[in-house]
Amino acid sequence: MLIDTTLREGAQLFGAYFNLETRKRIASSLIKIGVDEIELGWVGQEKLSELVQYVSSIAEDTVLSVWSPCREKDILAAAELSVDRINIGVPVSDLHIEKRLSTDRKALLHKISAAVRTAKAVGFKYVSVGMEDVSRADIDFALTTALLAKACGASRIRLSDSLGQLTPRAMEKLVTKFRSQINIDIAVHCHDDFGMATANAVTALESGAMYADCSVLGIGERAGIAVTEELVAWLALRDSNDRYSTKVLKDVCLMVSAASKVHVPRTKAVVGTDIFACESGLHTHALSKLPELFEPYNPESVGIFRKLAVGGKSGKAAVRSALDDCGVDCAATDLTTLTEAVRQLSCRLERPLTRSEFLKLNDEEVLS
Protein backbone atom coordinates (compact mmCIF):
# COMPACT_ATOMS: atom_id res chain seq x y z
CA MET A 1 0.00 0.00 0.00
CA LEU A 2 1.15 3.51 -0.75
CA ILE A 3 1.34 6.58 1.49
CA ASP A 4 1.65 9.61 -0.73
CA THR A 5 3.44 12.44 1.02
CA THR A 6 3.71 14.98 -1.80
CA LEU A 7 1.90 17.47 0.44
CA ARG A 8 4.28 16.93 3.36
CA GLU A 9 7.67 15.63 2.21
CA GLY A 10 7.20 17.05 -1.28
CA ALA A 11 6.29 20.46 0.09
CA GLN A 12 9.65 20.52 1.85
CA LEU A 13 11.46 20.63 -1.49
CA PHE A 14 13.72 23.66 -1.72
CA GLY A 15 11.87 26.43 -3.52
CA ALA A 16 8.50 24.63 -3.67
CA TYR A 17 5.49 26.60 -2.42
CA PHE A 18 2.01 25.08 -2.84
CA ASN A 19 -0.93 27.36 -2.19
CA LEU A 20 -4.18 25.95 -0.85
CA GLU A 21 -5.84 25.54 -4.24
CA THR A 22 -2.81 23.68 -5.60
CA ARG A 23 -2.79 21.41 -2.56
CA LYS A 24 -6.48 20.67 -3.09
CA ARG A 25 -5.86 19.76 -6.74
CA ILE A 26 -2.95 17.52 -5.82
CA ALA A 27 -4.95 15.73 -3.15
CA SER A 28 -7.91 15.28 -5.51
CA SER A 29 -5.61 13.78 -8.13
CA LEU A 30 -4.02 11.41 -5.63
CA ILE A 31 -7.49 10.13 -4.75
CA LYS A 32 -8.14 9.49 -8.46
CA ILE A 33 -4.86 7.56 -8.69
CA GLY A 34 -6.03 5.42 -5.78
CA VAL A 35 -3.23 5.89 -3.28
CA ASP A 36 -4.15 4.23 0.00
CA GLU A 37 -3.18 7.08 2.32
CA ILE A 38 -2.42 10.77 1.85
CA GLU A 39 -0.17 12.53 4.33
CA LEU A 40 -1.77 15.95 3.98
CA GLY A 41 0.96 17.97 5.68
CA TRP A 42 2.51 18.71 9.04
CA VAL A 43 1.03 20.13 12.21
CA GLY A 44 1.26 23.91 12.08
CA GLN A 45 1.34 24.11 8.30
CA GLU A 46 -0.56 27.07 6.89
CA LYS A 47 -4.22 26.39 6.10
CA LEU A 48 -3.90 22.70 6.91
CA SER A 49 -7.33 22.59 8.57
CA GLU A 50 -8.97 23.99 5.41
CA LEU A 51 -7.22 21.37 3.32
CA VAL A 52 -8.28 18.56 5.66
CA GLN A 53 -11.88 19.76 5.56
CA TYR A 54 -11.91 19.80 1.75
CA VAL A 55 -10.17 16.45 1.23
CA SER A 56 -12.33 14.74 3.85
CA SER A 57 -15.39 15.55 1.74
CA ILE A 58 -14.01 13.70 -1.32
CA ALA A 59 -11.71 11.08 0.20
CA GLU A 60 -14.05 8.08 -0.03
CA ASP A 61 -11.84 5.14 1.06
CA THR A 62 -8.55 7.05 1.02
CA VAL A 63 -7.05 7.34 4.51
CA LEU A 64 -5.94 10.82 5.61
CA SER A 65 -3.05 11.49 7.95
CA VAL A 66 -0.81 14.31 9.16
CA TRP A 67 2.76 14.39 10.39
CA SER A 68 3.60 15.58 13.89
CA PRO A 69 6.78 16.03 15.87
CA CYS A 70 7.08 13.95 19.01
CA ARG A 71 5.62 16.73 21.18
CA GLU A 72 2.43 16.73 23.21
CA LYS A 73 1.26 20.19 22.08
CA ASP A 74 1.55 19.20 18.41
CA ILE A 75 -0.26 15.93 18.98
CA LEU A 76 -3.07 17.82 20.68
CA ALA A 77 -3.21 20.20 17.73
CA ALA A 78 -3.36 17.27 15.31
CA ALA A 79 -6.35 15.89 17.20
CA GLU A 80 -8.32 19.00 16.22
CA LEU A 81 -7.89 18.28 12.50
CA SER A 82 -10.27 15.31 12.18
CA VAL A 83 -7.86 13.11 10.24
CA ASP A 84 -7.76 9.32 10.43
CA ARG A 85 -4.15 8.88 11.47
CA ILE A 86 -1.22 10.68 13.02
CA ASN A 87 2.37 10.05 11.95
CA ILE A 88 4.71 10.92 14.81
CA GLY A 89 8.30 11.47 13.74
CA VAL A 90 11.27 10.83 16.01
CA PRO A 91 14.97 10.12 15.28
CA VAL A 92 16.43 6.87 16.60
CA SER A 93 20.10 7.12 15.64
CA ASP A 94 22.52 8.08 18.42
CA LEU A 95 23.85 10.88 16.24
CA HIS A 96 20.44 12.55 16.15
CA ILE A 97 19.55 11.69 19.73
CA GLU A 98 22.71 13.28 21.09
CA LYS A 99 23.51 16.08 18.65
CA ARG A 100 20.04 17.14 17.49
CA LEU A 101 17.86 16.44 20.52
CA SER A 102 20.58 16.78 23.18
CA THR A 103 19.19 13.83 25.10
CA ASP A 104 19.85 10.13 25.63
CA ARG A 105 18.18 6.83 24.72
CA LYS A 106 16.32 6.44 28.02
CA ALA A 107 14.82 9.91 27.82
CA LEU A 108 13.88 9.40 24.19
CA LEU A 109 12.02 6.19 24.98
CA HIS A 110 10.10 7.99 27.72
CA LYS A 111 9.22 10.74 25.24
CA ILE A 112 7.97 8.25 22.65
CA SER A 113 5.90 6.41 25.24
CA ALA A 114 4.26 9.63 26.38
CA ALA A 115 3.61 10.77 22.81
CA VAL A 116 1.93 7.55 21.70
CA ARG A 117 -0.19 7.36 24.86
CA THR A 118 -1.25 10.98 24.37
CA ALA A 119 -2.22 10.32 20.75
CA LYS A 120 -4.34 7.36 21.80
CA ALA A 121 -5.91 9.31 24.66
CA VAL A 122 -7.04 12.16 22.39
CA GLY A 123 -8.80 9.79 20.04
CA PHE A 124 -6.39 8.55 17.38
CA LYS A 125 -7.23 4.92 16.77
CA TYR A 126 -4.27 4.49 14.42
CA VAL A 127 -0.92 5.92 15.52
CA SER A 128 2.16 5.64 13.34
CA VAL A 129 5.66 6.18 14.73
CA GLY A 130 8.25 7.19 12.16
CA MET A 131 11.73 6.13 13.19
CA GLU A 132 13.97 8.66 11.46
CA ASP A 133 17.53 7.76 10.43
CA VAL A 134 16.92 4.11 11.28
CA SER A 135 19.49 3.06 8.67
CA ARG A 136 22.24 4.59 10.84
CA ALA A 137 20.76 3.54 14.17
CA ASP A 138 21.74 0.70 16.46
CA ILE A 139 19.38 -2.02 15.26
CA ASP A 140 18.71 -3.42 18.72
CA PHE A 141 17.76 0.01 20.06
CA ALA A 142 15.56 0.60 17.01
CA LEU A 143 13.76 -2.67 17.71
CA THR A 144 13.38 -1.72 21.37
CA THR A 145 11.84 1.56 20.25
CA ALA A 146 9.42 -0.21 17.91
CA LEU A 147 8.35 -2.70 20.56
CA LEU A 148 7.78 0.10 23.06
CA ALA A 149 5.69 2.03 20.55
CA LYS A 150 3.57 -1.07 19.96
CA ALA A 151 3.15 -1.67 23.70
CA CYS A 152 1.91 1.90 24.11
CA GLY A 153 -0.68 1.47 21.38
CA ALA A 154 1.03 2.27 18.07
CA SER A 155 -0.46 0.57 15.01
CA ARG A 156 2.47 1.16 12.68
CA ILE A 157 6.17 1.90 12.64
CA ARG A 158 7.74 3.72 9.75
CA LEU A 159 11.36 2.87 8.99
CA SER A 160 13.01 5.95 7.52
CA ASP A 161 16.19 5.69 5.48
CA SER A 162 16.63 9.41 6.00
CA LEU A 163 19.83 9.81 4.00
CA GLY A 164 19.25 7.16 1.36
CA GLN A 165 21.97 4.91 2.75
CA LEU A 166 20.39 1.53 2.06
CA THR A 167 20.62 -0.80 -0.92
CA PRO A 168 17.72 -3.12 -1.81
CA ARG A 169 19.53 -6.04 -0.18
CA ALA A 170 20.04 -4.05 3.03
CA MET A 171 16.39 -2.92 2.93
CA GLU A 172 15.22 -6.52 2.62
CA LYS A 173 17.34 -7.46 5.62
CA LEU A 174 16.01 -4.54 7.68
CA VAL A 175 12.34 -5.17 6.93
CA THR A 176 12.69 -8.92 7.43
CA LYS A 177 14.25 -8.38 10.85
CA PHE A 178 11.52 -6.02 12.02
CA ARG A 179 8.82 -8.22 10.49
CA SER A 180 10.12 -11.19 12.52
CA GLN A 181 10.15 -9.22 15.77
CA ILE A 182 7.03 -7.08 15.68
CA ASN A 183 3.51 -7.83 14.43
CA ILE A 184 2.16 -4.36 13.69
CA ASP A 185 2.17 -2.62 10.32
CA ILE A 186 5.54 -1.66 8.89
CA ALA A 187 6.05 1.26 6.54
CA VAL A 188 9.19 2.55 4.87
CA HIS A 189 10.30 6.05 3.93
CA CYS A 190 13.11 5.81 1.39
CA HIS A 191 15.22 8.79 0.36
CA ASP A 192 16.87 8.94 -3.04
CA ASP A 193 20.32 10.34 -2.29
CA PHE A 194 21.97 7.46 -4.17
CA GLY A 195 19.15 6.88 -6.66
CA MET A 196 17.70 3.76 -5.01
CA ALA A 197 14.56 5.05 -3.29
CA THR A 198 11.95 3.46 -5.56
CA ALA A 199 13.89 0.19 -5.77
CA ASN A 200 14.19 0.14 -1.98
CA ALA A 201 10.46 0.82 -1.59
CA VAL A 202 9.56 -2.03 -3.97
CA THR A 203 11.96 -4.33 -2.13
CA ALA A 204 10.42 -3.37 1.21
CA LEU A 205 6.91 -4.17 -0.02
CA GLU A 206 8.09 -7.49 -1.42
CA SER A 207 9.85 -8.24 1.89
CA GLY A 208 6.76 -7.81 4.07
CA ALA A 209 6.32 -4.08 4.62
CA MET A 210 2.68 -3.06 4.40
CA TYR A 211 3.27 0.54 3.31
CA ALA A 212 5.76 2.60 1.35
CA ASP A 213 5.98 6.39 1.33
CA CYS A 214 6.20 8.15 -2.01
CA SER A 215 5.71 11.54 -3.65
CA VAL A 216 4.82 12.64 -7.16
CA LEU A 217 8.02 13.02 -9.21
CA GLY A 218 9.81 11.89 -6.05
CA ILE A 219 10.05 15.48 -4.80
CA GLY A 220 11.18 16.13 -1.27
CA GLU A 221 14.23 17.09 0.76
CA ARG A 222 17.50 16.98 -1.22
CA ALA A 223 17.15 14.30 -3.93
CA GLY A 224 13.65 13.41 -2.77
CA ILE A 225 12.09 10.03 -2.01
CA ALA A 226 10.48 7.05 -3.75
CA VAL A 227 8.39 8.06 -6.74
CA THR A 228 4.59 7.79 -6.68
CA GLU A 229 4.08 7.29 -10.42
CA GLU A 230 6.78 4.61 -10.57
CA LEU A 231 5.37 2.66 -7.63
CA VAL A 232 1.80 2.99 -8.93
CA ALA A 233 2.86 1.77 -12.38
CA TRP A 234 4.80 -1.13 -10.88
CA LEU A 235 1.94 -2.23 -8.65
CA ALA A 236 -0.76 -1.77 -11.30
CA LEU A 237 1.02 -2.99 -14.42
CA ARG A 238 3.41 -5.59 -13.03
CA ASP A 239 1.64 -6.72 -9.87
CA SER A 240 -1.89 -6.44 -11.33
CA ASN A 241 -3.21 -4.36 -8.43
CA ASP A 242 -6.45 -2.91 -9.77
CA ARG A 243 -6.80 -0.32 -7.00
CA TYR A 244 -4.49 2.06 -8.80
CA SER A 245 -5.25 4.08 -11.92
CA THR A 246 -2.27 4.72 -14.18
CA LYS A 247 -3.98 6.74 -16.91
CA VAL A 248 -4.06 9.93 -14.83
CA LEU A 249 -0.41 9.75 -13.79
CA LYS A 250 0.92 11.96 -16.56
CA ASP A 251 -1.54 14.77 -15.86
CA VAL A 252 -0.79 14.65 -12.12
CA CYS A 253 2.95 14.78 -12.77
CA LEU A 254 2.60 17.76 -15.10
CA MET A 255 0.53 19.59 -12.48
CA VAL A 256 3.08 18.93 -9.72
CA SER A 257 5.89 19.79 -12.10
CA ALA A 258 4.41 23.22 -12.76
CA ALA A 259 3.66 23.84 -9.09
CA SER A 260 7.09 22.76 -7.84
CA LYS A 261 9.11 24.07 -10.81
CA VAL A 262 10.62 20.62 -11.30
CA HIS A 263 11.13 19.76 -14.97
CA VAL A 264 9.93 16.35 -16.19
CA PRO A 265 12.67 14.88 -18.41
CA ARG A 266 11.43 13.49 -21.71
CA THR A 267 12.91 10.13 -20.73
CA LYS A 268 11.39 10.13 -17.23
CA ALA A 269 10.19 6.66 -16.28
CA VAL A 270 6.42 6.15 -16.68
CA VAL A 271 5.53 9.74 -17.66
CA GLY A 272 8.31 10.99 -19.96
CA THR A 273 7.02 12.11 -23.38
CA ASP A 274 9.63 10.09 -25.27
CA ILE A 275 9.78 6.82 -23.34
CA PHE A 276 7.86 5.12 -26.15
CA ALA A 277 9.64 6.96 -28.97
CA CYS A 278 11.97 4.94 -31.18
CA GLU A 279 14.13 5.47 -34.27
CA SER A 280 16.64 2.64 -33.85
CA GLY A 281 16.42 0.35 -36.86
CA LEU A 282 16.11 -3.06 -35.19
CA HIS A 283 13.76 -1.82 -32.48
CA THR A 284 11.51 0.12 -34.85
CA HIS A 285 11.16 -2.88 -37.14
CA ALA A 286 10.40 -5.17 -34.19
CA LEU A 287 7.84 -2.74 -32.74
CA SER A 288 6.01 -2.66 -36.06
CA LYS A 289 5.60 -6.43 -35.78
CA LEU A 290 4.84 -6.83 -32.08
CA PRO A 291 5.06 -3.92 -29.58
CA GLU A 292 5.57 -6.28 -26.63
CA LEU A 293 9.02 -7.12 -27.96
CA PHE A 294 10.41 -3.80 -26.73
CA GLU A 295 7.67 -2.25 -24.60
CA PRO A 296 7.09 -3.25 -20.94
CA TYR A 297 3.43 -2.15 -21.05
CA ASN A 298 0.94 -0.46 -23.35
CA PRO A 299 1.86 3.25 -23.70
CA GLU A 300 -1.81 4.26 -23.49
CA SER A 301 -2.04 2.69 -20.04
CA VAL A 302 -0.02 5.64 -18.71
CA GLY A 303 -1.48 8.26 -21.04
CA ILE A 304 1.43 8.28 -23.51
CA PHE A 305 1.51 7.45 -27.21
CA ARG A 306 4.01 5.46 -29.23
CA LYS A 307 6.23 7.45 -31.59
CA LEU A 308 8.16 5.72 -34.35
CA ALA A 309 10.38 7.79 -36.61
CA VAL A 310 13.17 7.27 -39.10
CA GLY A 311 16.52 8.95 -38.71
CA GLY A 312 20.25 8.46 -38.55
CA LYS A 313 19.89 5.14 -36.73
CA SER A 314 17.33 3.60 -39.10
CA GLY A 315 17.86 0.67 -41.45
CA LYS A 316 16.02 -0.41 -44.58
CA ALA A 317 13.43 -2.42 -42.65
CA ALA A 318 12.47 0.64 -40.60
CA VAL A 319 12.30 2.82 -43.73
CA ARG A 320 10.11 0.25 -45.47
CA SER A 321 7.83 0.11 -42.42
CA ALA A 322 7.62 3.91 -42.38
CA LEU A 323 6.60 3.95 -46.05
CA ASP A 324 3.90 1.38 -45.29
CA ASP A 325 2.61 3.49 -42.41
CA CYS A 326 2.42 6.48 -44.76
CA GLY A 327 0.51 4.43 -47.34
CA VAL A 328 3.33 4.63 -49.90
CA ASP A 329 3.99 1.73 -52.26
CA CYS A 330 7.63 0.67 -51.91
CA ALA A 331 7.81 -0.71 -55.46
CA ALA A 332 9.06 2.55 -56.98
CA THR A 333 11.55 3.24 -54.18
CA ASP A 334 15.21 2.30 -53.99
CA LEU A 335 15.29 1.48 -50.28
CA THR A 336 19.08 1.52 -50.08
CA THR A 337 19.31 5.01 -51.55
CA LEU A 338 16.37 6.34 -49.53
CA THR A 339 17.76 4.91 -46.29
CA GLU A 340 21.10 6.60 -46.88
CA ALA A 341 19.34 9.89 -47.69
CA VAL A 342 17.30 9.59 -44.49
CA ARG A 343 20.43 9.04 -42.42
CA GLN A 344 22.30 11.96 -43.96
CA LEU A 345 19.44 14.43 -43.53
CA SER A 346 18.77 13.28 -40.00
CA CYS A 347 22.43 13.66 -39.02
CA ARG A 348 22.51 17.11 -40.54
CA LEU A 349 19.38 18.16 -38.63
CA GLU A 350 20.52 16.30 -35.50
CA ARG A 351 17.09 14.76 -34.95
CA PRO A 352 14.69 12.19 -36.43
CA LEU A 353 12.71 13.26 -39.48
CA THR A 354 9.14 14.45 -39.34
CA ARG A 355 6.53 12.65 -41.43
CA SER A 356 6.44 15.48 -43.98
CA GLU A 357 10.23 15.57 -44.25
CA PHE A 358 10.34 11.83 -44.82
CA LEU A 359 7.65 11.91 -47.51
CA LYS A 360 9.31 14.83 -49.27
CA LEU A 361 12.64 13.04 -49.23
CA ASN A 362 11.04 9.91 -50.66
CA ASP A 363 9.42 11.95 -53.46
CA GLU A 364 12.78 13.52 -54.27
CA GLU A 365 14.46 10.13 -54.48
CA VAL A 366 11.70 8.61 -56.61
CA LEU A 367 11.63 11.54 -59.02
CA SER A 368 15.42 11.98 -59.24
**pLDDT score, position 361:** 83
Instruction: Kindly report, residue by residue over 30-89, the tens digit of the pLDDT.
Output: 999 999 999 999 999 999 999 999 999 999 899 999 999 999 999 999 999 999 999 999
* For residue 342, pLDDT beyond 90: no
Q: What is the pLDDT of residue 281?
A: 58
Spatial contact of 279 and 309, defined as CB atoms under 8 Å apart: yes
pLDDT at position 311: 84
Percent of the chain with pLDDT over 70: 96
- Residue 113, pLDDT > 70, answer yes
Q: How far apart are CA 235 and CA 241, in angstroms?
A: 6
8 Å CB contact between 107 and 79: no
Q: In terms of DSSP H, where are the helices of 39-196?
A: 48-56, 72-79, 94-95, 105-121, 139-151, 168-181
pLDDT at 158: 98
pLDDT (0 to 100) of residue 368: 55
CB 7 within 8 A of CB 252: no
User: What is the DSSP track for 24-36?
Assistant: HHHHHHHHHHT-S
Confidence of residue 283 (pLDDT cuts 50, 70, 90): low
Range in 190-194, 200-204, 213-217, 346-350 with the lowest mean pLDDT: 346-350
Strand residue runs (E) in the chain: 2-4, 37-42, 63-69, 85-91, 126-132, 156-161, 185-190, 211-214, 277-278, 307-308
Q: Which pLDDT score is estimated for 127?
A: 98
pLDDT of the residue at 356: 87
DSSP per residue, 268-279? -TTT-TTTTEE-
What is the residue type of 119? A
Cα 59 vs. chain centroid, distance in angstroms?
20
Average pLDDT, the chain: 93
Residue 125 to residues 81, 87, 117, 148, 213: CA-CA distances in angstroms? 14, 12, 11, 17, 20
CA distance 206 to 211: 10
Is pLDDT of 306 > 90? no
Q: What is the mean pLDDT of residues 269-278?
A: 91
Domains of the chain by start residue, with CATH: 2-260 (3.20.20.70), 277-367 (no CATH)
pLDDT in tens, 246-261: 999 999 999 999 999 9
SS3 (DSSP) at 176? helix
For 147-185, write each residue's pLDDT tens digit: 999 999 999 999 999 999 999 999 999 999 999 999 999
pLDDT of residue 280: 60
Q: Name the pTM for this structure.
A: 0.91
* CB contact at 8 A, 145 and 164: no
Whether pLDDT at 288 is above 70: no
**CA pair distance 232, 216, nearest whole angstrom:** 10
Task: Note the pLDDT of residue 337.
Answer: 85
Which tops the pLDDT comparison, 351 or 366?
351
154 and 116 Cβ atoms separated by less than 8 Å: yes
Phi, psi of 242 (to 5 degrees): -85, 5
Q: What percentage of the chain carries pLDDT values higher than 90?
A: 75
Cβ–Cβ < 8 Å for 173, 147: no
| pLDDT-wise least confident of 74-78, 135-139, 213-217, 285-289 | 285-289
| Per-residue exposure over 131-168, b if at least 16 CB sit within 10 Å of its own CB, e if not | bbbbbbbeeebbbebbbbbbebbbbbbbbbbbbbbbeb
pLDDT digits (tens, 9 = 90+) for 87-110: 999 999 999 999 999 999 999 999
Q: How confident is the model at residue 24 (pLDDT cuts 50, 70, 90)?
A: very high
Asked if 268 contacts 275 with a C-beta cutoff of 8 angstroms, the reply is: yes
7, pLDDT greater than 60: yes
Best-predicted range by mean pLDDT among 131-145, 271-285, 319-333?
131-145
Could you tell me if residue 30 is left (phi over 0), alpha (psi between -120 and 50 degrees) or otherwise beta?
alpha
Confidence category of residue 331, pLDDT binned at 50, 70, 90: confident
